[in-house]
C-alpha cells in the first residue's frame, strides 16, 4: 500500500502526530502492533498534565512540557475528552526538602511555568485537609491538571480518521528498507510504501530505529505500579499530591482522576522485559507505604484495582525527536518518558513542522473538521435530556454498567465510531464499563453479547484485551452438554 506518511505506534505520540497531520491534504497510515490504540505506556500512567518544573531548562522535555500543558484545555474541549486543571502540590517534610522545593521553583520559573508559589504548611493544610500534619511546605502549581490518557489517545486517533487517516491494528512493523527516495515498511501480512516514516514505537523505538539505521540510542524499560481507589475515597485529595522527586523519578503521588477515583503510585523499577506489565506484591507495598507519608488516612479498603506501566527511559535522558541526513523523511520520536503525555500535543506540532519542511510545504484539507463528534454521556445529562435521548434511541434506556451508569446506546456508539472498541477492555477504556467497584463482574457478559452482535462475531471470539485473551469456550447449557 502506498502512503505519504506512515506512523509506527498508536500511543499518545503516534495519535497526537496523526491528529495534527490529518489537517493536511496527504495520505496518512498509523500501524499498531496490538489490537487497540493506547496499549503501551499511554494507557498505564498517572494521567497527570504536568506543570513543567521537573525537567532541566533547555531540554526538549522542559520545552514541550510547558507548551503541551498550555495546549490541553483547548484540545480536550475540541475533542471532547475529560480534563481538569486541578493544580498540584509537591510536599516537603523537612528543611532539606524545602530547599528542594526552592530548586524546583527556580527551575519552573526558568522553564516559564506560570504562577508557581511555595505555600506554608498552614496554607497546604487549608487546601488539602488530609495531607500529613508533618508537612512543612508545599510547591503549588495551579496549571497542573488531570486527564484520561487512553480516552485522549482514542479521541486523537478518531479525529485523525474522521479526517481521512487509516489505522492498521495487529500490524507489527518487522523491517524497514530505503528504496530510492521512499521507504518499504514490512509487516507480517503486507508491505507499505511510504515517503515519510515516523517512529513512535515507545519502549521499542530503538528496535524500530535499528531496522533502518545504525544504533544511536538505547531504551531501558522502567516499571511503575499503581492502585486505583473507589469513588468513596474521592475527597481525600483535591489536587495532585507529589513528594519531592528522587533520582529515579517524580516519586509516589496521590491524585484524583477525571472520573472521581483516586490514583496512588508509581514506584520505579528497572526491569529487563520491555512489556512486563504485571504488578508485584513488593512493588505495590512499597507504593502504599510511600503514599502514607503524604496522606496517612489513605483508605486501604477502597482499593478496587492495581496496574503497572513501563516507562521508555532513553540513554540520553531527554526526548529524541530528530531526523537524519542519511535517511531523509525518517523521524524518530523516541525516549518519550514522563512528561510525554503532557508534552505530546506540543511535540506533535514540532513534528508537523519537520514533515512540512520535508515535503516542501503542506496544503490544508478543504473538508478538515477540527472537532470530534461529541460523546453522549448519559450520566451527565439532566432528567429531561435523558428522557429525550431515550425517546430518540431506546438503547439509551438500558443501563449496562451499573457502577458507572453506562447505557447500551453509548456502547453501541463507541463500537461504531472510527477507531471503535473491539474488546471488553476497549469498551472499558472508552466508556468506563468495568472500571467501577465490581470491575466488570455484572456488566462483562452483557458487553460480550453487545460486542458479538454489533461486530457480527461468535461470542467465543470476543477478547478481554489482547487477541490471546479469549473469555468464553462454549455454552454450558448448549445442545451438546449433559442433560
Ligand atoms: C508509570 C508511568 C507514569 C507516567 N506518568 C505520566 C504522567 O503522569 N504525565 C505525563 O505527562 N507522562 C507520564 N508518563 C509518560 C507517558 O505515559 C509516556 O511518555 C507516553 O505514554 C509515551 O507515549 P508513546 O506513544 O511514545 O509510547 P506508547 O504509549 O508506549 O506507544 C507506543 C506504541 O507503539 C506500538 N509499537 C511498538 N513497536 C511496534 C512495532 N514494531 N510496530 C507497530 N507498533 C509498535 C506499541 O504497541 C504501542 O502501542 C508516565 C509513564 C509511565 C510508564
pLDDT digits (tens, 9 = 90+) for 280-307: 999 999 999 999 999 999 999 999 999 9
Flag whether pLDDT at 272 surpasses 60.
yes
Please determine, for residue 341, whether its predicted confidence score (pLDDT) is greater than 50.
Answer: yes
Domain around 108 = 84-145+221-311
Label residue 474 by pLDDT band (50, 70, 90).
confident
My answer on whether 158 and 15 are in the same domain is yes
Q: Could you read off the pLDDT of 344-382 as tens digits, one per residue?
A: 999 999 999 999 999 999 999 999 999 999 999 999 999
**Using 50, 70 and 90 to split pLDDT, how confident is the model at 483?**
very low
Return d(Cα 95, Cα 137) in angstroms, integer: 9
Co-location of 137 and 226 in the same domain = yes
Give the CA count within 13 Å in the CB-facing half-sphere of 227: 27
Q: What is the mean pLDDT of residues 269-286?
A: 93
Residues 168 and 59 in one domain: yes
- Note the pTM of the prediction, 2 decimals: 0.96
Q: Average pLDDT, whole number, for the chain?
A: 95
CB of 94 within 8 A of CB of 101?
no
pLDDT at 478 (0 to 100): 66
Q: Is the C-beta atom of 172 inside 6 A of ligand 1?
A: yes
Which ligand 1 atom minimizes the distance to the CA of 200? Answer: 26
Residues 387 and 434 in one domain: yes
Same domain for 290 and 332, yes or no, is no
- What is the mean pLDDT of the segment spanning 450-457? 96
pLDDT band at 473 (very low <50, low <70, confident <90, very high): confident
299 CA distance to ligand 1 middle (Å): 30
The contacts of residue 49 (CB under 8 Å, 6+ apart) are 68, 69, 72, 83, 85, 144, 145, 146, 147, 341, 342
Q: Do residues 393 and 368 both lie within one domain?
A: no
Mutate to test the pocket of ligand 1, among 50, 71, 341 (most ligand atoms within 8 A of CB): 341
Mean pLDDT of 155-164: 98
What CATH number is attached to the domain comprising 294? 3.30.9.10
Q: Is residue 245 part of a domain?
A: yes
Q: Does residue 304 sit in the same domain as residue 452?
A: no
Is 75 found in the same domain as 8?
A: yes
- Tell me: do 291 and 324 sit in the same domain: no
Pocket test for ligand 1, best of 31, 42, 344 (most atoms within 8 A of CB): 42
Residues 433 and 392 in one domain: yes
Residue 388, domain CATH: 1.10.10
Q: What is the pLDDT of residue 446?
A: 94
- Phi, psi (rounded to 5 degrees) for 31: -110, 125
Work out how many domains the chain is built from and give that number. Answer: 3
Does the residue 68 lie in any domain?
Answer: yes
Residue 39: CB within 6 Å of ligand 1? yes
Give 391-432 pLDDT, tens digit per residue.
999 999 999 998 888 999 999 999 999 999 999 999 999 998
Test site for ligand 1: of 12, 149, 340, most ligand atoms within 8 A of the Cβ: 340
Calculate mean pLDDT across residues 457-480. Answer: 85
CATH number of the structural domain spanning residue 203: 3.50.50.60
Q: Which residue blocks in 163-278 are alpha helix, DSSP H?
A: 205-212
C-beta separation of 238 from 86 below 8 A: yes
Residues 324 and 178: beta-carbon distance below 8 Å: no
Residue 134 alpha carbon to ligand 1 centre in Å: 35
User: Domain check: are 306 and 442 in the same one?
Assistant: no
Query: In this predicted structure, what is the pLDDT of residue 248?
Result: 63
Flag whether pLDDT at 477 surpasses 50: yes
Q: Is 50 one of the annotated active-site residues of the chain?
A: yes
Does residue 476 fall inside a structural domain? no
Query: How far is Cα 390 from Cα 237, in angstroms, rounded to an integer?
Result: 36
Pick the closest to residue 252 from 237, 239, 241 (CA basis).
241
**Strand 303-314 to strand 182-186: parallel, antiparallel, or no bridges (unpaired)?**
unpaired
Evaluate: CB of 336 within 6 angstroms of ligand 1.
yes
* Residues 171 and 268 grouped into a single domain: no
CA angle 68, 71, 76 (to 5 degrees): 115
Of the listed ranges 44-48, 198-202, 253-257, 313-317, the least confidently predicted one is 313-317
Q: Give yes or no for residue 10 CB within 6 A of ligand 1.
A: yes
Candidate list 50, 119, 204, 209, residue with the active-site label: 50
Closest by CA to 136, choosing from 149, 125, 150, 148, is 125
Amino acid at each position: 500500500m502506498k502512503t505519504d506518511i506512515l506512523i509506527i505506534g498508536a500511543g499518545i505520540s503516534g495519535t497526537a502526530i496523526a491528529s495534527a497531520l490529518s489537517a493536511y491534504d496527504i495520505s496518512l497510515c498509523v500501524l499498531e502492533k496490538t489490537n487497540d490504540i493506547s496499549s503501551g505506556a499511554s494507557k498505564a500512567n498517572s494521567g497527570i498534565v504536568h506543570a513543567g518544573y521537573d525537567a532541566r531548562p533547555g531540554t526538549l522535555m522542559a520545552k514541550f512540557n510547558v507548551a503541551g500543558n498550555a495546549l490541553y484545555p483547548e484540545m480536550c474541549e475540541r475533542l471532547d475528552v475529560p480534563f481538569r486543571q486541578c493544580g498540584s502540590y509537591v510536599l516537603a517534610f523537612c528543611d532539606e526538602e524545602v530547599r528542594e522545593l526552592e530548586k524546583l521553583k527556580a527551575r519552573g520559573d526558568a522553564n516559564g511555568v506560570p504562577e508557581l508559589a511555595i505555600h506554608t504548611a498552614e496554607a497546604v493544610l487549608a487546601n488539602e485537609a488530609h495531607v500529613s500534619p508533618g508537612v512543612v511546605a508545599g510547591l503549588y502549581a495551579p496549571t497542573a491538571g488531570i486527564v484520561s490518557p487512553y480516552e485522549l489517545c482514542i479521541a486523537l486517533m478518531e479525529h485523525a480518521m474522521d479526517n481521512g487517516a487509516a489505522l492498521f491494528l495487529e500490524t507489527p512493523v518487522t523491517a524497514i528498507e530505503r528504496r530510492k527516495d521512499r521507504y518499504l515498511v514490512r509487516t507480517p501480512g503486507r508491505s507499505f510504501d511510504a515517503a515519510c516514516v515516523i517512529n513512535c514505537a515507545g519502549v521499542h523505538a530503538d528496535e524500530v530505529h535499528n531496522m533502518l539505521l545504525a544504533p544511536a540510542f538505547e531504551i531501558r524499560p522502567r516499571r511503575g505500579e499503581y492502585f486505583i481507589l473507589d469513588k468513596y475515597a474521592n475527597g481525600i485529595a483535591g489536587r495532585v499530591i507529589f513528594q519531592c522527586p528522587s533520582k529515579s523519578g517524580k516519586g509516589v503521588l496521590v491524585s484524583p482522576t477525571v472520573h472521581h477515583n483516586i490514583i496512588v503510585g508509581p514506584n520505579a523499577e528497572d526491569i529487563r522485559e520491555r512489556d512486563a506489565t504485571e504488578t508485584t506484591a513488593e512493588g505495590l507495598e512499597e507504593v502504599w507505604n510511600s503514599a502514607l507519608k503524604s496522606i496517612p488516612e489513605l483508605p486501604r479498603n477502597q482499593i478496587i484495582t492495581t496496574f503497572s506501566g513501563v516507562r521508555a527511559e532513553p540513554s540520553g535522558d531527554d526526548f529524541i525527536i530528530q531526523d537524519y541526513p542519511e535517511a531523509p523523511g525518517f523521524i524518530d520520536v523516541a525516549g518519550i518518558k514522563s512528561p510525554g503525555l503532557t508534552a505530546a500535543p506540543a511535540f506533535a506540532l514540532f513534528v508537523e513542522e519537520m514533515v512540512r519542511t520535508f515535503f516542501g510545504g503542506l496544503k490544508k484539507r478543504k473538508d478538515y473538521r477540527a472537532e470530534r463528534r461529541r460523546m453522549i454521556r448519559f450520566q451527565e445529562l439532566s432528567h429531561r435530556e435523558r428522557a429525550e435521548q431515550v425517546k430518540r434511541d431506546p438503547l439509551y434506556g438500558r443501563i449496562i454498567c451499573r457502577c458507572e451508569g453506562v447505557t447500551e446506546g453509548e456502547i453501541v456508539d463507541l463500537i461504531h465510531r472510527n477507531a471503535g472498541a473491539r474488546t471488553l477492555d476497549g469498551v472499558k477504556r472508552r466508556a468506563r464499563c468495568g472500571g467501577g467497584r465490581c470491575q466488570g463482574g455484572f456488566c462483562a457478559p452483557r458487553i460480550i453479547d453487545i460486542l458479538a452482535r454489533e461486530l457480527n462475531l461468535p461470542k467465543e471470539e470476543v477478547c478481554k484485551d489482547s487477541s490471546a485473551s479469549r473469555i468464553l469456550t462454549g455454552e454450558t447449557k448448549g445442545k451438546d452438554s449433559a442433560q
